[in-house]
Each structure stands twice: as C-alpha cells, then as structure tokens.
A and B are shown apart, each in its own frame.
Chain A
Amino acid sequence: MLPDWVEPVARYVVEVGLRNTLKLSAIALAGSALIGITLGTLLTIRFLPTRALIRLYIEIWRGLPILVTIFIVFFALPAVSSALRFDPITAGAIALILWGSAQVAETTRGAVQSIPREQHEAASALGFGWVGRHVFVIMPQALRRLLPPLVGLLVNIIQNTTIVQVIGAPEILETAERQVERLTFEGQEHAVEIYGAVMVTFFLISFPLTRLAAYLEKRLA
C-alpha cells in the first residue's frame, strides 16, 4: 500500500497541475500552428517588407530563451501599459505561442517551398487566386511534410510548459513544488519521490509522441 502522504499530493498534482499543463499545451500548440503556418506561408511571398518583418519575428522569438520571453510578457508588458496585464497561465501561453509560432513559421516556409512550381501553375490555370491556391492546393500537400515536425513541437511545448512555473502558474511542476514545500513544512521530505514522479509523468507523455514523430518522418518522407 502507498504511504498516507501520497494520495493528497497525487490528487492535487493531477487534478490541478496536469490539467493546466495539458490545457496550456493545447492552447500553445493551436496558437503556434495557426500563427506559424500563416507567417511561414506569407514568408514565401517575394515582397521585401513583409519578409523582413516576419524574419525579424522568427529570429527574435527563436533566439530568446522562453524564460526571458515569459518575463517580458508577464513583467515588462504591464509596466508599459496596464491593458497588457495577464494572469500567469495566459502570459505563459502567449510566450509559448511566440516561441512556437516562430519555430512553425520556419518549418512551414521550407515545406511550402518544397512543393513543386507546377502545382502553383496548375492551380493558377484552374483559376485559383493566391489564397485559394495556398489553402486548397499547396497547404494540403505541405501539411504532410509539416506533420512530423508539428508532433516534435508538441513534445517541446509540453516540456516547456514547465518554465511557466517561474511566474507561479499552477502547472505540474509548480503544483509538485507546492506539495514538496507543504510536506517539508510538516517535517516530511519527499522531493525525490515527487519530482521523480513528475519526470516519469512527462516521460510517459513524451516518449510515445517522439516515437510517433520518428515514425511519421519515415512514413511521410
């Protein structure tokens, strides 16, 4: 049987922490994919100002550590304007989306450019405009190539949600830390078991996904 301290810890970390981690991951993935795919496709247009702007966006958010982006969104933005004050989970989601969308944009550019010219020409000949051509002809093909890196991104997003712990958002690591501290306060030390369990949880979520990404890469290559 499990010792008495386990049950309340596990319940809090799973019900509050795991739920917020999954919620945050889902929002970050959806936002990153949506913005990243749009920016990546726009990056293939030969118009210097948009390309320069999108390039800058990509290089900034890919270049910064996510922790620094989280600090900027959570601490610096509210100092600029009180309208830009976010709760920890929202601030974390925004930071993860800035970083994730930069990753996706770069991959999307490559995937869109890998679709042969003839596909563009054939679509134009059928009367599609730029938007229709990309939405109905190019994207469905590019998405096949995007799928493996998107699964890889999901793994990175899930792991990087832990960084939101620094601003106190109650995801898995934060809830685990609160429980470790509560138990320490009560005179019990269980950091190894609790953080160990957190590692196992992440491994159980990530490992199948990294396998899936590798499998998709082989299948769709």
Chain B
Amino acid sequence: MTELLAALGPGFLEDLGSFVADNAGELAAGVRRTLTVSAIAIAGASIIGLTLGAARAYRIPVVSQLAAAYVEVIRNTPILVQIFMLYYALPQVGIRLEAFTVAWLAVTIWGGAFNTENFRAGFEAVPARYREASAALGFRGFATFANVTLPIGGRIALPSSINTYISVVKNTSLMYVISYPEITTTVFQIQALTLETVEAFTVLALTYLIIVWSLSALIRLLESHLALPEDR
C-alpha cells in the first residue's frame, strides 16, 4: 500500500508530464495513426452499413442473403482472429497485405457488419405511413428512400452506429498484434525501452479516454441537433 501511494504520489503527475514531453513526437505520430485508421474505417463502415443495411431492409434478393451471411460471420467471430486471418494466414495463399492495410481493412470489415445491422434496424423502424405519404406525394422508389427512409431511418440508427464507431476506435488498439505503430503499439514499445511502465500505460489509458469521451460528448450534441421534431 505504501508502494502504491509512493507511486501515485504528488510526483506522479510530473512523471506523466515528463513522459509525454520526452516522447512527444512518437506519441503524436501514434495518435495520428490511430485517428487515421479510425477515420478510414468509420467512413468505410458508413458506406457498407448504408448500402447493405438498405439491401437488407428492402430484402433485395441475393444481396440481402449475402449481406446477412457477412454480418453473422463477422459478428460471431472474434475480431482478433479476423486480424490474424488477414495478416498471418492470407500470405499462405499468396495474399500479402501491409500492416497499415490490414489495420484499416480489419476494422472497416468489422464496423461495416455491425453498421449493416444498425442501418437495417433504422430503416425498418421508419413507419410505413411515412412511405405511404411519400408515395401519395408522387415520389417513386428511390426518391422515397433518399428523401424519407434515409433521413428518418438514418437518425434512428444514429446512436447505435456511433456506438459502433466508438468500438471501431477502441478496436484499432488490436493492431498491436500486427505491430502496426498506432498509439498502443507505440506506447508499448516506448515502455519496453524506458521501463516507465506505470507512466506509459497511464498516458495510454488517458489518451483513449480523451478520444472516446469526446466522441461520446460529440454524439450527444449531434443527437440533440439531429433529433426528429417530435422527439425534441
């Protein structure tokens, strides 16, 4: 207990500060890679979720069944095993991907599967009377989707899809297993050299909490901004 207090005593904040100062360049590069991979994956997962979610909600033959299979396989297997498959198994059949490629690809595939479900549920939750009203106004199939189902269903899907994006950011930490130098790998390597284990992992944890907490704060802002008039 005295050791614990000594480690976390008043000098600890200074230690954290000097850890960040000593390794500022590497830490910044790590955070930048985490954010880059996350941004690519969030964009990709949004496109996949929108298209396949719509295909599922509208029960478009073949595409809908393939999308369902994709969703079930990804959701029911660990993402870490998917990463191993992409990085350590595919070279056996002649497909060699760079660590960066696997990094964004793995979280995009994973986020896309969860987002397909989010958007499917969102689109299916749009009341039929809205689509009927749209048809009565003369909108055809795609126009109804673009003007009615998408804006309303997209908003219904928003909270769950943003939770998926937060998970995507957290899952980029798993790229540690393929040594892609995002923030987790970077901090791990620094502490292996400097042996400042406690400082290193405290800084790492704070970094993730800042990213994740600001993302959730952003969501709440966005949610109230995009809320349907009847929910306001």
Report which A residues bind B (CB closer than 8 A). Answer: 59-60, 63-68, 71-72, 75-76, 79-82, 155, 159-160, 162-163, 165-166, 173, 177, 180, 189-192, 194-196, 198-199, 202-203, 206-207, 210
Contact = CB atoms under 8 A, between A and B. Distances in A.
A59 B78 CA distance: 23
Interface string B76-110: 11111110110011111100000000000000000
A173 B83 CA distance: 11
Q: Please provide the 6 A-B residue pairs with the shortest distance between their CB atoms, ordered closest to farther.
A: A206-B76, A65-B173, A191-B89, A159-B78, A65-B170, A79-B197
B76 A202 contact: yes
A196 B85 contact: yes
B21 interface: no
A64 B209 contact: yes
Interface stretch (B49-57, B153-161, B200-208): B200-208
Q: Identify whether the interface residues of B are mostly helix, strand, loop, or mixed.
A: helix
Contacts of A206: 75-77
A72 to B, nearest CB: 5
B198 A196 contact: no
Contacts of A165: 80, 177
B213 interface: yes
Contacts of A180: 88
Contacts of B80: 162-163, 165, 173
A47 B84 CA distance: 47
A80 to B, nearest CB: 5
A202 B201 contact: no
Interface residues of B, number: 43
7 contacts: A65-B173, A72-B205, A80-B4, A81-B3, A163-B174, A206-B77, A207-B76
Q: Identify whether the interface residues of A are mostly helix, strand, loop, or mixed.
A: helix
A166 B177 contact: yes
B173 A210 contact: no
Nearest to B175: A67
A76 B174 CA distance: 18
A180 B212 CA distance: 35
B81 A173 contact: yes
B77 A199 contact: yes
A128 to B, nearest CB: 36
Nearest to A165: B80
B84 A173 contact: yes
Contacts of B200: 76
Nearest to B209: A63
Contacts of B191: 75
B171 to A, nearest CB: 7
A154 B63 CA distance: 30
A20 to B, nearest CB: 14
Interface string B1-30: 101100110000000000000000000000
B132 interface: no
A76 B173 contact: no
A198 B80 CA distance: 11
Contacts of A202: 76-78, 81
B123 to A, nearest CB: 18
Contacts of B176: 67, 166
B184 interface: yes
Contacts of A191: 88-89, 91-92
B223 interface: no
A155 B75 CA distance: 9
Contact of A192 (B79, B93, B202): B93
Contacts of B76: 155, 202-203, 206-207, 210
A171 B179 CA distance: 21
A195 B184 contact: no
A65 B208 contact: yes
Interface in B120-172: 170-171
